[in-house]
Amino acid sequence: MLLEQVEYVRPTSLEEALAVLTEVDGAAPLAGGQSLVNVLKNRVASVDLLVDISRLSELRSITRSPDGGLDVGACVTYDELDRSPEVREVHFTLGDVAAHIEDQQIRNKGTIGGNCCLSDPTNNLPPILAALDAVMSLRSASASRRVPAAEFFKGYFATALEPGELLVSVTVPPMPARSGAGYASLHVAADAKAMARAAAWVQLDAGEQTIAATRVVLARMASVPVRDAGVEARLAGAEAGEAAVRDACAVAAEGLRPIDDVHGSSDYRREMAKVMARRAVMQAIDQARGGGDGAERTRRGGRG
């Protein structure tokens, strides 16, 4: 509960924040704090200076990009994602994923940027962002660059961020025609940590009978979300139905070695990856066909 001595500063502009993050060794950005404060309370990592970026207006907006996609500021909270009409219209599933992160208090403070930058393999947003082919915008005092979500997550608590660099926004491209997203998690309890998780994006061909393109991302199978090339290859051109999807997903997580812990063995988790992949892909197909906006799942309030 009790933190080590630490310094705190609250810049009033993004420029100030970037400058201080560059200048001070041991400085760390503090956004929603829903993970970082825990880390500090448990004294498992040491931070010299907390740079409070949570109020910076530059990081707090959700806007429609010219191509119809979304630009989401790094300090947008889960609750704002959940309740944003723009997010719900363009990427219903992203809003739905946010709506099932833990609880109301955490959703009111936790941010999309924090969820990504911590790169905790249990975090909910990285796999769906990877499946939606999101792009992360990074800035430092002197430069800016864009990194695809799939390349952003590097390992346990490790990302592509360089010292002094800050994630400022996440760009989610628009949902193409005849495409949809799906997301399935096996939680240890309702809206709690997941043991296995899959996010999928599927585009159907013109006749909506076969699968034209997919991205299937597994989480909790490795230190970072991973695209499952084996499943994607089998889905390509396959019939968009339960049997073919089940068949394709039977190879999910092949070659991966998820962790063993008190919630289940590595083998169990690999089996669950198949189930979650199938469920996510089926949801995505459903959504691609114009149904499955996830509303029912939200109403059930259960295990996504």
Partner 1 sequence: MTERGTSHAISVTVNGERVSRVVSARQLLVHFLRDTLGLTGTHIGCDTGNCGACTVVVDGKLVKSCMLLAPQADGGTVETVESLAADGQLSDLQRAFNEHHALQCGYCTPGMLMSATYLLRQNPDPSADDVRRAIRGNVCRCTGYVNIVEAIRSAGSAGKATLATGSAEEV
Partner 2 sequence: MTITSSPATDRATRAWSGRSIPRKEDARLVKGQGSFVDDGGLQGQGYAWFVRSPHAHARILSIDCAPALAMEGVYALLTGEEARRQCETPFFAIAPPPGSLMGEWPLAVGKVRYQGDAVAVVLADSRETARDAAERVVVEYEPLPAVVDTVAAADPATPLLYEEAGTNVVWQGVFDYGDVDWALENADHVVKIERLHFHRFTSAPLECNGAVVDYDLGTGVVNVMSNYQMPMFAAMVIGPTIGVPINKFNFVSKDIGGAFGIKIGFFAQIAALALLSKKAGRAVKWTEYRTEHMLTAGHGNERTFLDIEVPVMSDGTILGVKVRAFDDAGGYLHYEPLGAVIWSQVVPGCYKLKHVRVDYTEVVTNKCPTVPNRGYSRMQHLWMIERIIDVVAKELRLDPVEVRKTNYVQPEDYPYRTPNDCVYDSGDLPRSLDIALELAHAEKWRARQRELGTGSGRRIGIGIGSTLDSGTNNFGQSRIINPALPFSGNGEAAIVKLDLFGEVNVNIGTTPQGQGHETTAAQVTADILGVSPDMVTVSTGFNQANNSYVGFSGTYASQFAVSGLGAVMGAAEKLRRQIVKLAMYALQAPEEDIEVSDGFARVRGDESRAIPFIGLANMVYANNAGLPAELLSEVDLNARHVYVPPFQVPDPVTKTGNLTLTYASQVHVCVVEVDEDTGEVSLLEYAAVDDCGKRINPMIVEGQVHGATGLGIAAALYESLDYDESGQLQQPSFYEYHAATALDIPHLDCGSIESPSPFTPNGAKGMGEGGGAPLHAVCSAIQDAVGAGGPVVADSHNHWARVYELLHRDPAASRGVEVSSRKGSPSVATN
Residue 2 touches partner 1, criterion: CB under 8 A? yes
Minimum CB distance to partner 1, residue 96 (Å)? 13
Minimum CB distance to partner 1, residue 213 (Å)? 35
| Angle at which helices 266-288 and 242-249 cross, to 10° | 150
Q: Which two tokens stand for residue 31?
A: 């956004």
Minimum CB distance to partner 1, residue 277 (Å)? 27
Residues 155-194, one symbol each (x = binds partner 2 by CB under 8 A, - = not), give -------------------------------x-xxxxxx-
Amino acid at 243: A
Query: How many C-alpha atoms does 265 have within 13 Å on its Cβ side?
Result: 3
Residue 2 touches partner 2, criterion: CB under 8 A? yes
Amino acid at 73: G
Rounded-to-integer distance, Cα 292 and Cα 285, Å:
9
Minimum CB distance to partner 1, residue 7 (Å)? 5
Question: Per-residue DSSP letters for 34-76?
Answer: TTHHHHHHTTSS--SEEEE-TT-GGGS-EEE-TTS-EEEETT-
Rounded-to-integer distance, Cα 182 and Cα 198, Å:
8
Q: Which two tokens stand for residue 66?
A: 């010219």
**First CA to last CA across the chain, in angstroms?**
32
Residue 5 touches partner 1, criterion: CB under 8 A? yes
Choose which of 14, 16, 210, 259 interacts with partner 1 (CB under 8 A). Answer: 16
Residue 89 touches partner 1, criterion: CB under 8 A? no
Which range, of 48-56, 209-217, 253-261, 279-287, touches partner 1 by CB under 8 A?
48-56
Edge-first strand order for the sheet with 135-139 is 62-64, 70-73, 166-172, 135-139, 144-148
Choose which of 36, 47, 195, 280 interacts with partner 2 (CB under 8 A). Answer: 195
Residue 49 touches partner 1, criterion: CB under 8 A? yes
Where do we find the tokens 């002197």? Answer: 142
Interface residue list for partner 2 (CB under 8 A): 1-5, 38, 42-43, 103, 186, 188-193, 195, 261-265, 268, 271-272, 275, 301-303
Interface residue list for partner 1 (CB under 8 A): 1-12, 16, 20, 30, 33-34, 37-38, 40-42, 49-50, 52, 54, 79, 102-106, 108-109, 190-191, 299, 301
